Amino acid sequence: MGLDDASRDTSSKKGSCLSVFKTLSVEPAGFLVICSIIMSHLMFQNLLMETACRGDLGYEAATCKEIITKVNASYKTQEREIQKVVADLQAITSVLFGSISVLVVLFIGPWSDSNGRKIPLLISCMGMLSFSGMMILCYFLLDKVKLNALTLTLLVMGPITLSGGGHVFGMSAYSYIADTTSEKSRTLRTGVLSASVRSAMPIGYAIGGGLNKFGVKITTSLMLAMGLGLVGFVILLLTVKNVRPKNTEVDDVDGSEVTKRKKRSAWIRYNPLTKLWQAFAILWKKRKDRVGFWLLIVAHMSYAAPGSGEYSMLYLFVRERLQWNVSDYGFFSMYNWLMSAAGVFLSMFILSRKLKISDPIVGLVAGFSQIGGSTMYAFATTALAMYLASATDLMNGTIGVVVRSMLSKTVAPDEIGKLFALLGVLESLIPIGMVPTYAMLYKNTVTIFAGAFFLLSAALTIPAEIIFIYFICTKRNMSPKKEEHALDGELGPSGKPLVVHKGALEDRINNELVRLMPQEMYSSKDCMVGVFEAKNAVKNDNDDEEEK
């Protein structure tokens, strides 16, 4: 019987996993769409430089092909002129597109709460599809009309910006899973989506770099990328259901009054400026450790600023310093992403979870990793030095994880959503200021010291390091992370000792944690908690006989 029960349990688990995978919709679509956009982005780098070369600087098509595709060192002067044009363009367009993206995200979020996630998913996917499609169109127009870099950027980036692109897609996909799954399968589905999106990035870099390395035409590569995105769009169209919340309004007034109220309510609910103000309102709320909260917000900005600026200039830098083409850049980006993922695993699962090192110390170590990596990047003159710098910088993504963890401990449980909304808004606003800063710095130092912007990244990380040291010295956020705390002498319905599990009093019944309801306060030398009783009383055989 024991073997039969075990086999039934195993088969039921397999069945539940299969049923979950049968319901996947946004997960495979997310993988295909993100892979498509990464491949297209690699091609866009070269197309933008070629357009600047031919349209803005007036060089011959053959000369531009030699400069852009082959990275011919004999055209060093022309290469630098092209890079200055591209840097100027990125400084301007980053402000324009970044501002629009923030407003679109702030509008689409509450709109999708009322009207469902399918339309935002489809529109954002269409915007990302248009990225490849508009690039194909512009590539053919390049030989027909005089097209400058600004026009190209507006045509290619305009649709994806207005649709919300990856920001709206990610927000809508995670929200869709939360709307349509049970609590039991939600964690698995969310994890699958996260893994799909994250794995698509290095794979997209590898495919894009490989296509360029083997001499595949840019139009063929873009059509392949567009095909992947189109398959993702079809999956969304056929599998995503537009789940709408139930309408709880009661029409107890006349029709004109209802219309006025709905219009006024819609303006308040969907106005992106209102949402922007609401996101920042959490900063001014009175709380026990307001100074610590503000310092952690500064640390988050200090960490996020270098990433957005570096990414926009990295391809230009490796062309100038190392004469890399888009294929070399693609493979390096894949390696860099894998190193960053390994760094987060090292810090979170080994340093934090296994060795029980506190968050501020982990953040401090991660900051040293980022400063060291940025400094090595700045002075790298060989491919080996770049790859070693990436290995040194492997823990840079950890700072964001640590700061989020520390911030979540400074706010009330009902403020967690508002906190992460604020962080999302900040991460959208930071590139508006940092990309122009990095672009202007690179433009003015490319002929002197092209790696100067990496030193700026190292300098921007220093405030976060000082804040971590402050938390270490003041012993804030330094308490050990206790998963459970047993209460001596107190027994639950199962006859076993009560425990505090992650801040809530619970009892273990049939090897499962059961959350208990508060009845009265209990004080011990270590903590004050509620003495609880089970929501669903566990009946024994004697109770059943008495009821009969």
Q: What pLDDT score was predicted for residue 499? A: 54
Report DSSP letters for 411-466, one per residue: S-GGGHHHHHHHHHHHHHHHHHHHHHHHHHHHHHHTTT-TTHHHHHHHHHHHHHHH
Give the mean model confidence (pLDDT) for residues 267-277.
68
As beta bridge partners, residue 484 has: 501
Q: What pLDDT score was predicted for residue 272? A: 67
Which of the two residues, 82 and 408, has the higher pLDDT score?
82
What is residue 396's DSSP assignment?
A: T
Give the mean model confidence (pLDDT) for residues 305-334.
93
SS3 508: strand
- 77: tokens are 């002067």
Query: How many residues in total does the chain contain?
Result: 548
- Does residue 534 have a pLDDT over 50? no
Which of the two residues, 279 and 528, has the higher pLDDT score?
279
Counting beta carbons within 10 angstroms of the beta carbon of residue 509, is it exposed (0 to 12), middle (13 to 18) or buried (19 or more)?
middle
Torsion angle of the four alpha carbons 175, 179, 184, 190, in this order, in degrees rounded to the nearest 10: -20
CA distance 76 to 78: 6
Q: What pLDDT score was predicted for residue 253? A: 44
Domains of the chain: 22-243 (1.20.1250), 271-480 (1.20.1250.20), 484-547 (no CATH)
Residues 6+ apart with CB under 8 A from 14: none
- 504: tokens are 């809530």
Radius of gyration of the chain (CA): 27
Quick one: what percent of the chain has pLDDT higher than 70?
75
Q: What pLDDT score was predicted for residue 428? A: 81
Torsion angle of the four alpha carbons 159, 165, 168, 169, in this order, in degrees rounded to the nearest 10: 130
Which of the two residues, 473 and 428, has the higher pLDDT score?
473
Report DSSP letters for 306-339, one per residue: HHHHHHHHHHHHHHHHH---HHHHHHHHHHHHHH
Buried b (16+ CB within 10 A) or exposed e, 412-446: eeeeeebbebbbbbbbbbbbbebbbbbbebbbeeb
HSE of 288, CA atoms in CB hemisphere, 13 A: 6
- 387: tokens are 């790859």
pTM of the entire structure? 0.77
Q: What pLDDT score was predicted for residue 508? A: 44
Which of the two residues, 15 and 339, has the higher pLDDT score?
339
Report DSSP letters for 228-253, one per residue: HHHHHHHHHHHH-----PPP-----S
Give the mean model confidence (pLDDT) for residues 278-305.
85
Mean pLDDT of the chain: 80
Q: What pLDDT score was predicted for residue 443? A: 95
- Does residue 301 have a pLDDT over 80? yes
CB atoms inside a 10 Å sphere around CB 63: 15
CA distance 99 to 96: 6
- Does residue 400 have a pLDDT over 90? no
CA distance 37 to 128: 7
Q: Tell me the backbone φ, ψ of residue 504, rounded to 5 degrees.
A: -120, 140
**Residue 173 confidence class, pLDDT cut points 50, 70, 90:** confident
Residue with tokens 């700072």: 399
**pLDDT, tens only, 436-445:** 999 999 999 9
Q: What pLDDT score was predicted for residue 11? A: 52
- Does residue 32 have a pLDDT over 60? yes
**Cα angle value 64/69/71 (rounded, 5°):** 90
CA distance 197 to 122: 17
- 454: tokens are 């990496």
Q: What pLDDT score was predicted for residue 256? A: 56
CA distance 225 to 257: 50
Q: What pLDDT score was predicted for residue 47? A: 94
Give the mean model confidence (pLDDT) for residues 455-466.
96
Mean pLDDT is highest, among 167-181, 251-265, 303-317, 406-420, for 303-317
Which of 62-76, 114-128, 403-417 is the least confident region? Answer: 403-417
**Residue 542 confidence class, pLDDT cut points 50, 70, 90:** very low
As beta bridge partners, residue 523 has: 528
**Residue 344 confidence class, pLDDT cut points 50, 70, 90:** confident
Q: What pLDDT score was predicted for residue 346? A: 83
Which of 28-32, 249-253, 345-349, 433-437 is the least confident region? Answer: 249-253
- Does residue 404 have a pLDDT over 70? yes
Q: What pLDDT score was predicted for residue 266? A: 58
Which of the two residues, 410 and 301, has the higher pLDDT score?
301
Q: What pLDDT score was predicted for residue 406? A: 86
SS3 485: strand
CA distance 184 to 404: 25
**Residue 260 confidence class, pLDDT cut points 50, 70, 90:** low
H or E stretch covering 137: helix 118-141
- Does residue 515 have a pLDDT over 60? no
